[in-house]
Amino acid sequence: MKFEDEPVPGYPLPILPGHVSPGRLERVLRSGAFAVTSELDPPDSANPQDVYARARVFDGVVDAINATDGSGANCHMSSLAVCALLTRIGYAPVMQISCRDKNRIAIQGDILGGAAMGVCNMLCLSGDGVGNGDHPQAKPVFDLDCMSLLRIACKLRDEHQFESGRKLTHSPRVFFGAAANPFVPPFDWRALRTAKKAAAGAQFIQTQYCYDVPRLREFMRQLADLGLLEGPNKLFVLVGVGPLRSAKAGEWMRTHVPGIHIPDSVIARLAGAENQAAEGRKLCVELIQEIGQIPGVSGVHVMAYRQEQAVAEIIERSGVLAGRVPWSPQRDAQQRIQMETAA
């Protein structure tokens, strides 16, 4: 997908009226196209080529790539560093910001630093407790939570000042988002909490894994009743999906990963399949197709931990891009070759 006012393919776009960032993800969402994002598992490495190798598997099928921030309280390359590397060659990252490890001084600095390096999308998260990760002896910070982080981030952008009131000379032009999990109780509270995040400044939401479409339909109905899915302040909802490798993997996830809901019917379907990994990918394709028909859904967020190579196949089989080809470095290289050949 190439925009008419795109100065250099893959690089920031002019900010249109009603938009807050020069980013491609916001442009795609506000255009009404069905957006696709995915998640890059940061490497346990200081080699930038490890980041680029992981990003290339998403070429041509995703509009933005999330860089996780110590997901599960495990240590990896930082989200800010991953995003800085991705923007160097034109990728559109979503920089995740966790409140677990930094106070408001450091977080505000990271928002400015990320924006200065071309990051146009940031996801504000409270963060997992350190007891879940590989450094349980670490001291958690939690100076902020996702709500207060959103308010401070939007103050940087919209009021051109730090939380302290000190003025900025140039504000970060960033599309801010948050997470939601409508699949675990208390169900009625989930939509209300999402509304509070929107009021605090979230403009897009990425949800936890969805394996329960009826529950998602009810959540989307509740958001619509709250007036969040239309108008100039519309909240864009990207529903989390992911392929399950096996019934055993699904059982482990719903038992050990907080906030994961996988119905018994899904586990039974995988257990009865001759090739469980293939059945998991097929199920993911079907879920994306069904989710895409739900009113108010703006896209999907594909989380395929250690199955990233399957993302392109899943998105292509789902047909949700409807012929649209998201930007990638390879796409523009191929276009240049075609133009030179034609000349």
Q: Encode pLDDT of 18-35 as tens digits.
A: 999 999 999 999 999 999
d(CA 261, CA 150): 27
What pLDDT, in 10s, does the model give residues 207-226? 999 999 999 999 999 999 99
The mean pLDDT of 277-283, rounded to a whole number, is 98
Within-domain flag for 1 = no
Within-domain flag for 11 = no
The mean pLDDT of 69-92, rounded to a whole number, is 90
Q: With cut-offs at 50, 70 and 90, classify the pLDDT of residue 264.
A: very high
Within-domain flag for 282 = yes
Please say whether the beta carbons of 237 and 207 come within 8 A.
yes
Within-domain flag for 276 = yes
Residue 140 DSSP symbol: P
Q: Domain of 85: which CATH number?
A: 3.20.20.220
Within-domain flag for 110 = yes
> Residue for token digits 């998403």?
58
pLDDT at 7: 62
Q: With cut-offs at 50, 70 and 90, classify the pLDDT of residue 2.
A: low
pLDDT at 126: 94
Residue 131 DSSP symbol: G
Within-domain flag for 187 = yes
| Domain containing residue 152 | 24-342
- Give the chain's domain count: 1
Read off the pTM.
Answer: 0.93
Hey, CA dihedral for 270, 276, 277, 282, is it positive or negative? negative
> Would you tell me how many other CB atoms lie within 10 Å of the CB of residue 131?
11
pLDDT at 339: 44
Within-domain flag for 317 = yes
Dihedral class, residue 86 (left if φ above 0, else alpha if ψ from -120 to 50, else beta): alpha
State which of 40-44, 148-152, 333-337 shows the largest mean pLDDT: 148-152
Q: Is the pLDDT of residue 338 over 90?
A: no
Give the 3-state DSSP-derived string for 316-340, with helices as H, strands as E and coil as C: HHHCCCCCCCCCCHHHHHHHHHHHH
Within-domain flag for 173 = yes
